Structure 1
Amino acid sequence: MDEKTVMTGAQPARDELLAELEHTRQRTRRLITSLSEGQLDVPYHPGVNPPLWEMGHAAFFYEVFVFNLLDGTPSFDPAMDDLWDSFHVEHKDRWNRELFPAREETLDYFDTIYDRVAERICAQPLTDQALYLYRYAIFHQNMHIESLIWCRQTVGYAAPSALIKERPAPGTSVVGDAVIPAGRWLVGMPGESEFFATSDFAFDNEKPGFEIDLESFAISRQQVTNREFLAFVDEGGYRKPELWSFGGRKWLETEADMALVHGRPEPLLRTPAHPVYWRWHEGQWQERLFDQWQPLNPDAPVTHISYWEAEAYCRWAGRRLPTEFEWEVAALGNRPGEPFRRYPWGNQSPDASLADMDGLHMAQNPVYDYPEAESPFGCRQMIGAVWEWTSSQFFPYDGFRIDMYPFMSTLQFGDHKVTRGGSCATSSCLIRGTYRQAYLPMRNDVFTGFRTCAL
């Protein structure tokens, strides 16, 4: 890697980096230190990592992508490298507390690395390469903040302390579809697939941007709500094989087996009869939010939905999921030759008035809130609340170039589905309309939902 020219106007960039680094450190620390010692031993789950391992892994990532790559310095404790490296320690071994340091030792390691990164930002030239790698490591850590939040939901721990139940940006219902005209559109981040962009950071799977011709299509202005999905449940949607694809029926069988293992037998057909965190209790539908059962909010987006459930709902409703390109066009409306927008509302970074992110509201607001954040076509909440399933498989764009972290995208290509828009647990510093997240279609532990298109 060649060192690029030192950036001009570097001090504002340094200040921004230091602020984001410290904010990321404090958020991570709170998510760890608010758990009791017993809670650190979370039950094994294939979609969850132990909280302490998440913290150590994040610090190790800074070592590799800042100190190893920029300075060639060895790790803080080379004997621990294989244990913190996700590609050297098997998922099931991360639960073996005897292999890893205790909480205080891990916190000390975490803080030591963060302090060293902050010192380096202040003391060393802020080259394009350094800025890129700092951002990469900070954004990677924010991905793990999201997984720490869904870990709490999965195992039923208390909500993060940041949770706020007030509606910051109330709106009124916007039923119906937005009609997107046929035409030529821009998808992905503009420009070449370069590593060290100084202005618009993007991961490798968002690059290079390209032009695409799309037919006209109609997409829902709102995400599918709990009320709408409840109609599918009430009509026995989970028990109608004709609504489910082969993959969906296999998923139903797996979920039914898991229900029996965990003492949730379905007495007729061995299928789940409702989303994973719903229950019928004392004459009403309830939803579990972390460790609390609460009445189901009919106007909130349906959450923790697998791709197979979204697909079956669409078949029941006579609708379909959007492709990821349709989703991005509906969200951003970027056209060749016109100013490029990063968010549905323009280029202002997301905040609490524009999107449900940062673990603040946890997809509890109505789908029609945040009216100031509408897309150019009038679609609400295309950023935040829930990751939205698309019908697209996760593949590289033409001209794809593997990034600094070779496993950022490549391991997911082919068998994962694309979700878009970020969720209530996604960090707002991370998201933009071109961001592509990939999940296996059976995942319902993450904060996933969907919107639909007309056939």
Structure 2
Amino acid sequence: MGAGLFVPPFPASPSEKKISVEAFELDRTPVTNADFLGFVRDNPTWRRGLTPGLFANPGYLLHWSGPLDLGSDALPDAPVTQVSWFAAKAYCESKGKRLPTESEWEYAASASACRADGRRDPEFVRELQELYAQRGRRVISAVAKSAPNYWGIYDLHGLVWEWVLDYRNTIVGADDRQDGEDAEAMRFCGAKVFAGGGTNDYPAFMRYAFRSSLDGAFTMRNLGFRCAR
């Protein structure tokens, strides 16, 4: 993807009006169950039941039928989910890649089908709002079934949430909450994590709120990843 300037919808400080994004490569689709199965076969320490709790919570790959068996709830060509940030990072590094930064991911995701930045396109905004309003699916669909964006990237919206390398830098981290805060509620009630900032870009608001609730060992049924370099 070409370099460019990205205007974050929720800047970290008043002075952060534009971010320079250098040219980078981003996987065209999220990492699939089949991809990740190959990884855990080659790297036994990342198999379900063998990964220390420090690096993945008990939900890690729980939707698979077994440590090396996908089963009916995890289609081979669907995005792998129930993976922690640590597992996603290890996978990308095994491929000579890395997780995308938040700015890189948002830069790519701001593109519509025909514009590098479609955030002011009413039709694109409407499509995103409809996607983010949909209820989650028990069985996640295969990748690349919808049209790619301007950069040729698939499924940045509407299929799964995705890990980014610097998720801890988003607004306020999971470790910054007051004691007793309900973690599951924080992951779905985005308004709680913002001290300020506009909400005109509702899909971006949801993404930033979601990321700010995460911890590196978290795994969720609708949270996957893709790699960059």
TM norm structure 2: 0.69
Residue 254, structure 1, aligned to residue 39, structure 2:
no
1:229 corresponds to which residue? Answer: 36
Q: Which runs of 5+ in 1 are unaligned?
A: 1-179, 194-204, 241-250, 260-271, 287-293, 397-408, 416-422
> How far off its partner does 1:357 sit?
5.6
* 8 A Cα contact 2:55 2:84, kept in partner: no
1:279 corresponds to which residue? Answer: 65
Task: Identify the structure with bigger relative contact order (alpha carbons < 8 Å, sequence gap 6+).
Answer: 2
Residue 390, structure 1, aligned to residue 164, structure 2:
yes
Structure with the higher fraction of residues in strand conformation:
1
Q: Go from structure 1 to structure 2 and tell me whether the alpha carbon gap of 1:413 and 1:388 turns closer, same or farther (over 3 Å shift).
A: same
1:344-359 correspondence runs (5 A): 346-350=124-128, 355=131, 358-359=134-135
Q: Which letter maps to 1:366?
A: A
Residue 326, structure 1, aligned to residue 111, structure 2:
no
* 8 A Cα contact 1:323 1:391, kept in partner: yes
2:20 corresponds to which residue? Answer: 213
> How far off its partner does 1:367 sit?
1.1
1:315 corresponds to which residue? Answer: 93
Q: Which runs of 5+ in 2 are unaligned?
A: 178-186, 191-199
Q: Count the aligned residue pairs.
A: 199
The separation in 2 between residues aligned to 1:412 and 1:306, in whole angstroms, is 14
1:85-96 correspondence runs (5 A): none
**3-state SS in 2 of match to 1:275:** coil
Partner deviation per Cα, 1:195-253 (whole Å, 9 max, x = no partner): xxxxxxxxxx798872111211010111111111111022134359xxxxxxxxxx932
* 8 A Cα contact 2:110 2:117, kept in partner: no
The separation in 1 between residues aligned to 2:54 and 2:168, in whole angstroms, is 24
The separation in 2 between residues aligned to 1:452 and 1:307, in whole angstroms, is 12
Q: Go from structure 1 to structure 2 and tell me whether the alpha carbon gap of 1:389 and 1:451 turns closer, same or farther (over 3 Å shift).
A: same
**3-state SS in 2 of match to 1:347:** helix
* 8 A Cα contact 1:363 1:385, kept in partner: no
* 8 A Cα contact 2:101 2:164, kept in partner: yes
The separation in 2 between residues aligned to 1:342 and 1:227, in whole angstroms, is 37
1:165-176 correspondence runs (5 A): none
1:368 corresponds to which residue? Answer: 144
Partner deviation per Cα, 1:47-81 (whole Å, 9 max, x = no partner): xxxxxxxxxxxxxxxxxxxxxxxxxxxxxxxxxxx
**3-state SS in 2 of match to 1:254:** coil
The separation in 2 between residues aligned to 1:375 and 1:184, in whole angstroms, is 18
The separation in 1 between residues aligned to 2:165 and 2:56, in whole angstroms, is 26
Structure with the higher fraction of residues in helix conformation:
1
Q: Which letter maps to 1:448?
A: L
Bigger Rg over Cα:
1
> How far off its partner does 1:377 sit?
1.1
Q: Go from structure 1 to structure 2 and tell me whether the alpha carbon gap of 1:214 and 1:362 turns closer, same or farther (over 3 Å shift).
A: same
The separation in 1 between residues aligned to 2:14 and 2:157, in whole angstroms, is 20
The separation in 2 between residues aligned to 1:296 and 1:233, in whole angstroms, is 15
